[in-house]
Amino acid sequence: MDKLARDIAETEWLTAAECAGRIGLTVRALRLYERYGLIAPRRTDKDWRLYGAADVARLTEVLALKRLGLSLSAIASLLAGKATNLERLFVMQQAVLRETRERAEQGLVIVEALRTKLARGDRVSIDDLVRLAKETQMTDISADAIAWRSYEQARPRTAVEIDADLYTDYAGHYQLRDGPGLAIIHRDGHLFIQVTGQPEVEAFPESDHAFFLKVVPAQITFTRSVAGVVDQLVLHQGGLDIPAQRIDETVSREIQAALDKRIRDRTPAPDSEALLRATINDHMRGEPDFERMSPALAAAARTQKDVIAKDLARLGALVAVTFRGVSQEGWDVYDVRFERGEVEWSFSLTPDGKFSGMLLRPRP
């Protein structure tokens, strides 16, 4: 009997749904891990998958390695041919939990220092706030994490009945971080979401605070303040978790009015063309400046930079950049002409001038 069998006896077998539910994964994630060779569940005569203690231990090991920042391919290479060792697993989990605790403690030290500053009557600097923001940024935007959340966001969901009074709590105006305004509309016992410049779509409840869309794989969760007031939502889409703060209706109307004026007057964002030319040159060199992008876009751009560089290399030297207008979503749209072809290049910018979205498509 090997060490794992001595440590955990195979006394129970779980179906895929049971295994995923107990660990907090999805069945899709289990299939993904199986494709990487990380687990090899037992098969019944009817080809159903069954997961035992060894599989659960290996899954726990994989999740701990992911938390340390390793990709699935790296984990598969690391664990190839190695049986799960509980002592190694516990040591690794201990390291992960200690890292989490240390980050939390470091964040608390910064908060306490800032509170002490305020108590002394000192001014809190922008550097102080930036440091705090970095320490408390909990959204993992690594490529693996985005892929993981994309699987979770794409899983089938079922609508449930909830207290209709909650719809009134959620209805209102919000603004996405580094992005446009967003309206939550309560009408005739239904809830709708409308991003600035886009048509409204219905959101269906899957719990008393979580909703999902059917037209795209996206979800919304609402959060309440200590006083119990709904003051924030999080949009889960494209493998990202994007927070949005509640704003006054007047502010929302101003955002929409400003967008309408930009579209009507065909007014590009400040320094729009210069930013575009710089990012084209960066991509052509294969060295995009991720500091010019929002964290979410930077994470996506890292996975695409080689593909974009190859496509631009085939197009040849840059010849001309021509502004076409502003899309209904508020994106600046340009025709970019190269020696051997043209590309429509559209993008959106954050309030501080960073790229928050980018789309390239060849022009006929």
Distance CA 76, CA 72 (A): 6
Start-to-end CA distance of the chain, whole Å, equals 66
Handedness of CA 288, 290, 291, 297 (dihedral sign): positive
Output the pLDDT for position 261: 93
Domain boundary assignment for the chain: 3-84, 88-138, 165-256, 266-362
Q: From the first residue on, what is the mean pLDDT of each consecutive set of 10 residues in the chain (364 residues)?
A: 42 84 86 89 89 84 71 74 59 57 68 79 69 52 58 81 92 83 92 88 94 92 88 85 88 87 93 93 90 79 83 92 92 94 91 85 79
Distance CA 190, CA 200 (A): 12
Output the pLDDT for position 64: 72
Considering only the top CATH level, what class is 266-362? alpha beta
Strand segments (E) across 160-247 = 172-176, 181-187, 190-195, 201-205, 210-213, 218-224, 230-237, 240-247
Output the pLDDT for position 173: 94
Strand segments (E) across 282-340 = 318-326, 332-338
For the beta sheet containing 341-349, the strands, ordered from the edge strand earlier in sequence to the opposite edge, are 318-326, 332-338, 341-349, 355-362
Output the pLDDT for position 2: 40
CB 88 within 8 A of CB 79: no
Output the pLDDT for position 193: 95
For residue 148, the tally of other CB atoms under 10 A from its CB is 20
Q: Which fold, 3-84?
A: Multidrug-efflux Transporter Regulator; Chain: A; Domain 2 (1.10.1660)
CATH number for the domain whose boundaries are 165-256? 2.40.128.50
Kindly report the pTM of this predicted structure.
0.55
Output the pLDDT for position 99: 55
